Amino acid sequence: MPSIHNPDHIILTLPASKTDPFRKGVTIYIASAPDSPSTCPVSALVHLFTINPLPPNSPLFTTSDQSPLTRSRFIARLRLALLEAGFQPHGFSGHSFRRGAASAAAAAGFLDHEIQQLGRWRSDAYRLYIDTPKDRILNLSSRLHMADPHASTFEPPSLRFTPSLA
């Protein structure tokens, strides 16, 4: 039985989403990260529900007057927090989270279809969001320099059809 005091995951239900063209609602499963309590989204939500208990159908995030948090207000607050933390906020938007998650999943070795499933992408568009770290590119480049193309002669497959005489 799930427990609000020690949950191992949460189920987030969005009434509508960009990836939900028929507006049926989207269910997102998020696992807890017990080994990383300071960055665990489940722990953060448990804390939020403890300090600000609201009815189940209330907006998850609200402003001080209890109105739903809008995208523009969220991004403004995100950019302010980044600035306070010493980061230049001009390159960040709400979409940065999707891009960052795709890049983190790729770096962790997730398979393409797993990244696509986690981000609820129907197309291969997620591939455009994956940032390959500079050190990975340099490693690939150095490995290419070590390859000996003359070690064996490459012969492309023949396109000529030769019928067998059998």
Q: What confidence tens digit (pLDDT) does each residue in 111-157 have?
A: 989 988 888 887 888 888 888 888 888 888 888 877 666 666 666 66
Spatial contact of 3 and 10, defined as CB atoms under 8 Å apart: no
Q: Are 8 and 31 in contact (CB under 8 A)?
A: yes
Question: Can you tell me the distance from the alpha carbon of 128 to that of 125, in angstroms, rounded to the nearest whole number?
Answer: 6
Name the CA radius of gyration of the chain, rounded.
Answer: 24
Q: Is the pLDDT of residue 85 over 90?
A: yes
Q: What is the mean pLDDT of residues 48-68?
A: 83
| Average pLDDT, rounded, for the chain | 82
Residue that has been written with the tokens 């490459």 in this structure? 154
Please give the average per-residue pLDDT across 63-79, as a whole number.
88
Residue % of the chain over a pLDDT of 70: 86
Residue 2 reports pLDDT greater than 60: no
Q: In the predicted model, what is the mean pLDDT of residues 68-93?
A: 89
87 pLDDT higher than 80: yes
| Of residues 159 and 107, more confidently modeled | 107
pLDDT number for residue 20: 74
